[in-house]
């Protein structure tokens, strides 16, 4: 049998082999080109390129020696920054003694990066805040005493200067080219461990956290001590300053925030030239515009900043901006959300004339305003107590409202032409948020100057739909939607 098989023609074996190869090839999956070309990034070249530009920053403060009982400040950079309670087992450091001479004690540790070859270094304001002495250590282990040029707490950006030349400065990136999902890298000194490299991706841009600037959110591992270090893209450019983390435990939990480098550079230029930051203001208190309010007043899309109050004598008041207006554009630039307005205004030099577009009673208006300089916010004045006139009943009672004419004294105090005072709010009105003492100044896009106009506007309103009400509460304006009872 073996001899018979061996005598089988060679041609048969070749044909069978080719058929097997074809069959095997036919079942192999074909990968798309993008899947074949993409691999995990290699950060080694970036570390060599940018690493020498990143510095370690130590801060010292003068305290009295001897005694015990105070918490070690060097271990509390994170707790000070984010308001987390101090663990009861936190190690203790010496407590000052009034009769002992001053001595330098470690206060905190952070990071920074070289902005210019002649020794300007950028970091976070909270890293150097309250420091009596700042020590900058380069990657080659050289140490310099730094001079604080300026620090801006509002943006959390600071600039310090060391006396050196020929330093390796970083390259500044274009924040507009940064994309969500893009790989980024951080270099810093977490927990005092110098030249530590971590990497991740951009999780979100323009992230509002209640601060003045819109942050870059990443999942790059950032911990106490990373503050002030650079966020670097794959081109070796700095796109942000690592500033904050979200954490319930005190350590990294996958959410980090960085200051966009374009905003930081703008602040640093002012700090280097004048030592402080000057911002513009127009004197309004603002709030978000909800989708329901936008639809009910004919604005359509929920955008812009709702003016809840206007400061007396402020540029906004002089320009004719009123409480209840919705600012939709500033100097031709659209306001997508309320937080855009203070950033845009803040970047304008005081004394500059700007055009503000407001949406009022269904009509857009352009108003000219002279930008003023930021100053401490004034406290809102309380409306003086006045004796209301006898309430007037009518259609308003169907929605739980009892209103009366607004006294002239209160009109003058609120700086409004008219309106009606809410003497009682129940049912649908109460559910909408109205309460006694509120002043209704508009129904829909119809301005109200008296109870008669108020009743007429309600009579014309479609009772099957939510009725939009613009009201004043003291010096604050807001919208409320009174929904029909089903």
pLDDT > 90 in the chain, percent: 36
CA 314, 315, 317, 323 torsion: positive or negative? negative
pLDDT digits (tens, 9 = 90+) for 369-400: 999 998 643 433 333 333 344 444 455 666 77
Q: What is the SS3 assignment for 130?
A: coil
Please report the sign of the dihedral spanned by the C-alpha atoms of residue 344, residue 345, residue 351, residue 357. positive
- Whether 62 has a pLDDT exceeding 90, the answer reads no
Tell me the β-bridge partners of 356.
330, 367
Mean pLDDT check: name the lowest of 88-102, 263-277, 296-310.
Answer: 88-102
* Cα 331 to Cα 164: distance, rounded to the nearest angstrom: 42
Domain positions in the chain are 43-277, 280-373, 395-482
CATH among 3.40.50.720, 2.40.10.120, 3.50.50.60, 1.10.287.70 for 43-277: 2.40.10.120
Q: Is the pLDDT of residue 74 over 50?
A: no
Say whether 311 sits in a helix, a strand or coil. Answer: coil
What is the reported pLDDT for 389? 42
**CATH assignment of 395-482, given 2.30.42.10, 3.20.20.70, 3.40.1280.10, 3.60.20.10?**
2.30.42.10
Summarize pLDDT for 128-171 with one digit per residue, the tens.
988 889 999 999 999 999 999 999 988 899 999 999 999 999 99
Question: Which pLDDT band, with edges at 50, 70 and 90, does 250 fall under?
Answer: low
- The mean pLDDT of the chain is 79
Catalytic positions, written as ranges: 126, 156, 227
CA-to-CA distance for 164 and 66, rounded, in angstroms? 36
pTM equals 0.64
pLDDT at residue 221 tops 60: yes
Name the CATH superfamily housing domain 280-373: PDZ domain (2.30.42.10)
Q: Please report the pLDDT score of residue 41 as a whole number.
A: 86
Domain pair 280-373 / 395-482, same fold: yes
């Amino acid at each position: 049998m073996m001899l018979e098989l061996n005598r089988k023609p060679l041609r048969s074996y070749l044909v069978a082999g080719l058929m097997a190869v074809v069959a095997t090839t036919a079942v192999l999956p074909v990968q798309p080109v993008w899947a074949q070309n993409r691999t995990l990034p290699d950060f080694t070249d970036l570390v060599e390129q940018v690493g020498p530009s990143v510095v370690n920053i130590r801060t010292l403060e003068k305290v009295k020696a001897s005694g015990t009982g105070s918490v070690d400040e060097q271990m509390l950079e994170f707790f000070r920054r984010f308001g987390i309670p101090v663990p009861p087992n936190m190690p203790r450091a010496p407590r000052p003694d009034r009769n002992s001479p001053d001595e330098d004690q470690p206060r905190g540790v952070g990071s920074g990066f070289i902005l210019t070859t002649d020794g300007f270094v950028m970091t976070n304001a909270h890293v150097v805040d309250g420091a009596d002495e700042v020590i900058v250590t380069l990657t080659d282990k050289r140490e310099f005493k730094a001079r604080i040029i300026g620090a801006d707490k509002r943006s959390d950006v600071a600039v310090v200067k060391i006396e050196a030349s020929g330093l390796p400065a970083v390259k500044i990136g274009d924040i507009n080219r940064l994309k969500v999902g893009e790989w980024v890298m951080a270099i810093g000194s977490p927990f005092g461990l110098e030249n530590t490299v971590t990497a991740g991706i951009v999780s979100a841009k323009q992230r509002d956290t209640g601060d003045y600037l819109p942050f870059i959110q990443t999942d790059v591992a950032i911990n106490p001590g990373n503050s002030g270090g650079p966020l670097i893209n794959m081109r070796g450019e700095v796109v942000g300053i690592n500033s904050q983390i979200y954490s319930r435990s005190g350590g990294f939990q996958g959410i980090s925030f960085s200051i966009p480098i374009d905003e930081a550079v703008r602040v640093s230029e002012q700090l280097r030239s004048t030592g402080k930051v000057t911002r513009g203001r127009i004197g309004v208190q603002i709030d978000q515009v909800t989708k329901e309010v936008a639809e009910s007043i004919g604005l359509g899309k929920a955008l812009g900043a709702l003016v809840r109050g206007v400061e007396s004598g402020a540029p906004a008041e002089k320009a004719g901006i009123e409480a209840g207006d919705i600012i939709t554009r500033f100097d031709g630039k659209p306001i997508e959300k309320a937080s855009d307005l203070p950033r845009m205004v803040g970047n304008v030099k005081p004394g500059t004339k700007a055009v503000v577009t407001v949406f009022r009673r269904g009509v857009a208006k352009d108003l000219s305003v002279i930008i003023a300089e930021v100053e401490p916010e004034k406290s809102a004045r309380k409306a003086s107590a006045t004796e209301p006139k006898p309430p007037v009943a009518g259609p308003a009672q169907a929605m739980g409202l009892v209103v009366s004419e607004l006294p002239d004294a209160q009109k003058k105090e609120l700086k409004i032409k008219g309106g009606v005072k809410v003497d009682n709010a129940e049912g649908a009105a109460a559910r909408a948020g109205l309460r006694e003492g509120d002043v209704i100044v508009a129904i829909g896009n119809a301005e109200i100057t008296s109870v008669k106009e108020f009743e007429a506007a309600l009579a014309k309103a479609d009772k099957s739909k939510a009725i939009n009400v613009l009201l004043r509460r003291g010096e604050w304006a807001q919208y409320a939607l009174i929904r029909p009872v089903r």
